[in-house]
Structure 1
């Protein structure tokens, strides 16, 4: 019995010490996430916490809005943008750390409708006389909106379809226009259509890459996060197999960073 008591006195404090050390080492990283990456990032954040102990506090919205907020001192540690230009611009302005830039996903644009009979597999619906309301994200704020605009211009129908366009502030809002049928169809991220909780009927056309500039989605540690271990840890985790599996499952492509 004395031996048991002695062992308990030695082991229990040691275990408490280990737990306390792990807890002390865990940090929270504030992450601004492009709206198109909402569903996959929620899953990745859970895996990240389970693997590292660090927590990721996520905010979702348009890349353009996040850029303005970061310029105005918003307390974000990491930005997961929907393009590669915004992180690069933040680096130039000394608001982000150049060595931490990385491409975490290659986005894919899709024309989607809740109605199974609306969108054909070649996008010919866009050349109909009266195609109905078409949702796109604001090209000035959201890279997916710019890609949609480039697609319509490449097809030679942008000018004639402008009266039909319903513009969302972010790709998240744009998807809601289509999901609630306030727009007959819309240009959204393939990841939104592939989201596990969106198993509704519909029709879609994955837009050929040749019709718009590649959507390289870059992440970067912001100046505010330079001394936060969880910020650099998240950037590293985005490059793991576990994160890649989630990213692929939503229809994104991957880029091998140098």
Structure 2
């Protein structure tokens, strides 16, 4: 037993030395799945992902101004490409980890019909929407309303969230009767878990391809590469699908 103890401590020291921690900026819509995935990632690799959640547009501004993030999980595919072009992310690392789905949702189980006709009929005072300039799901909501020809009619009713998490919060707390949120925020057992909702047809808005990228500050971090590989693996994919995302 005395002979094995030094070996155990040596192996523990080696594994601890190899483990790393990375700063990850995560699009707000991906909060739920990333919390699950990061726990699995730490358990399986020893690396730790320190997560910050928010709007992709705001993360872009922060990263451009030197924020210490090493990996970005964006809510679009344009921001990672732009960061690569500007030298703030590593070329060749962006990939689509999820494709998002937009939902019109209310906590009232009878308010939203399954075709979204409530938007045309009215009868509500507030409609929550994420900032379309910073949040791709907000941009998708605007495209949806534009396609339906009701933007001008509904604009006075907008309650704008800084990101999709705040947008969901406005609806869930009753600050708005309904709002455009990410399917991942309301899905349970493969369907809308509570309240009522309309899953917006994908033809109503540009595909929400969500890309991950290693940022310049994570260029030489093995844990950054490990996380990107983990997101491409079966365990992460199973979690992503369970939250209602599509995979490329």
TM tier relative to shorter chain: over 0.9
TM-score (norm 2): 0.97
2:61 corresponds to? 68
Q: Distance in 2 between matches of 1:169 and 1:92?
A: 26
Once the two structures are TM-superposed, the CA of residue 194 in structure 1 deviates from its matched residue by 1.6
Within the candidate set 187, 202, 206, 1:213 is matched to: 206
Structure 1 residue ranges, 4+ long, deviating more than 2 angstroms after superposition? 129-132
Does 2:151 align with 1:163?
Answer: no
Q: Distance in 2 between matches of 1:142 and 1:157?
A: 20
Alignment of 1:35-114 (within 5 A): 35-114=28-107
2:175 corresponds to? 182
Q: Distance in 2 between matches of 1:145 and 1:168?
A: 9
- For structure 1, which runs of at least 5 residues remain unmatched after alignment? 1-7
Once the two structures are TM-superposed, the CA of residue 234 in structure 1 deviates from its matched residue by 0.2
Q: What CA deviation, in whole Å up to 9, does each residue of 1:155-196 have, x standing for no partner?
A: 111111111111111000000000001000000000000268
Q: Give the paired residue count.
A: 246
Alignment of 1:106-255 (within 5 A): 106-194=99-187, 201-255=194-248
Q: Distance in 1 between matches of 2:157 and 2:121?
A: 12
Q: What CA deviation, in whole Å up to 9, does each residue of 1:69-127 have, x standing for no partner?
A: 00111000000000000000000000001211110000000000000110000000000
- For structure 2, which runs of at least 5 residues remain unmatched after alignment? none
Larger Rg: 1
Q: Distance in 2 between matches of 1:233 and 1:55?
A: 10
Within the candidate set 20, 25, 28, 2:21 is matched to: 28
CA RMSD of aligned residues (A): 1.2
1:3 corresponds to? none
Q: Distance in 2 between matches of 1:113 and 1:12?
A: 58
